[in-house]
Amino acid sequence: MKKFYVASGISNIVNVRYVAQALESQGYVNTYDWTRNATERDGGTVSPGDLCSIGEHERDAVIGADIVVILLPGGKGTHVELGIAIAQRSRIILYSPTKSIWNPGTTSTFYHLAEVEKCHGTLDDLLTMILTEPHAMAPGVPSVDTTRTD
């Protein structure tokens, strides 16, 4: 059974839920659904203690996931989660609806590490990539470049 986590910004909550539900319908297990806390966090009704608890859940979810999906645009937390996933050597799939991830003026150097698979297009293109291109990172072994440039 594959475990996954979807990281993104609050503005992308509909897409996060779409991807999560699609993966769950295929038997994948979501390690944490951060969207449950998004309304309170966005509305400013959480305390620093709440933020600590949410952060612990999100960190543990990334660590426990076999696949970490990064949906752009992301926020500060998204990029922290990307860093945790890189350090954990998880399978990482970075998704952008546009080709902006290849633009030197708008991209991040970490998006271009060998272990980060990239996809742009529709969310269904992303799901096809996840479901039909199985990949397992082994510690110390570079990944195969599955960057999509079409």
Per-residue pLDDT tens for 15-44?
A: 999 999 999 999 999 999 999 876 655 556
* Residue 3 burial (10 A CB sphere; 0-12, 13-18, 19+): middle
The structure's pTM equals 0.84
Distance CA 132, CA 135 (A): 9
Q: For the chain, what is the mean pLDDT?
A: 86
E strands along 2-148, which residues? 3-7, 29-30, 67-71, 91-96, 116-120
Distance CA 86, CA 115 (A): 7
Per-residue pLDDT tens for 59-94?
A: 999 999 999 999 999 988 999 999 999 999 999 999
Alpha-carbon distance values, 27 to 36, 45, 128 (Å): 21, 34, 15
The model's confidence at residue 146, banded by pLDDT at 50, 70 and 90, is very low
